[in-house]
Amino acid sequence: MNFIQTDLQKDILRTAIKVVLIVGTILNLINQGPTIAAGEWENINGIKLLMTYSVPYMVSTYSAVMARMKSN
């Protein structure tokens, strides 16, 4: 229960969202850059897109929560 309460703190969520926007965008440009640059939106792999944003979110949130729990 403590993990979930810490996870929902606003500063951790803000940090995770910033990481997602930066890292997720960079990774999407690396993985699907030519497709995005050509504007071929129908050819973008939706699962790749979702995973590229969700993995950095989960990693960032998990590491921030674990660091917060260790310091308490």
For residue 2, tell me if it sits in a domain. no
pLDDT the model gives residue 72: 66
Among 31, 32, 15, 24, smallest CA distance to 54 is for 24
Residue 1 falls inside a structural domain: no
Which residue shows structure tokens 């050509």? 38
Residue 20 lies in a domain: yes
Structure confidence by residue, pLDDT tens digits, 35-72: 888 888 888 888 988 999 999 999 998 888 888 878 76
Range of the domain at 11: 7-71
Number of domains in the chain: 1
Q: Could you tell me the pTM of the whole model? A: 0.73
pLDDT of residue 43: 87
- H runs (alpha helix) in 1-72: 2-7, 10-19, 25-37, 46-71
pLDDT at 6 over 60: no
